[in-house]
A = this chain, B = another copy of it.
């Protein structure tokens, strides 16, 4: 029997417990104030920062994102957006660890090309092996291939983050069956990373059994980012609760005695 108390339905990442299953990025906002307000409205407790694009201390004297997102309040998740090879990626993670005083948590992404922003899964696997051996807690962006996802888990990544659709596309869950298969196979948290466009997309991902969602553009590029941040917060809770509540079976008609099958549309 599912526990109906939402209070105890928490996400655990790297030994820490979170009540929010929404992770957010910091790019594409109008200014730091809008960033701050949107993140607050989202209820996110983990915020990812693109180390190569954002000042988190590398450039003293410039505005520092950590002033807006104090590490006491938010778990900072440095990411390697913009890295296209293993060496740059690994170096970027080490830089982040220095800037954050030994903080081991990173989101690894090694991109395959500039057009699609799909991951290079071969390079991703190599970088994951190096980073895990070097003591990092690695959350890893990948495609929606169940075999690659399992391999990343076996290497020791603490969370696997398949794409729902290309980064920044807003196309929603392109291949729900793949995401579902990844979830079924996993012993670590599965978080959808990239592709969510609106609230229902987030609900779908959670209904598939994902443990959380990371998003940025869907909030930041909405006409009203702060209102959308709240919508996403509710959508993820709704999708999670619907997953836990166990949906009614789909069937062609109420009168039918069995679920829909045979026909396939």
Contacts and interface: CB of A to CB of B under 8 A. Distances in A.
A155 B169 CA distance: 29
Interface residues of A, number: 85
Contact of A237 (B181, B202, B228, B234): B234
Nearest to A256: B169
Q: State how many copies of this chain the complex holds.
A: 4
Contact of A254 (B168, B224, B250, B254): B168
B207 A203 contact: no
A180 to B, nearest CB: 6
A247 to B, nearest CB: 4
Interface in A1-34: 2, 4
Contact of A228 (B174, B178, B241): B241
Nearest to A179: B265
A82 interface: no
Interface of A: 2, 4, 112-122, 125, 143, 145-148, 150-151, 165-172, 174-178, 180-181, 197-200, 202-204, 207, 217-218, 221-228, 230-235, 237-242, 244-255, 259-265
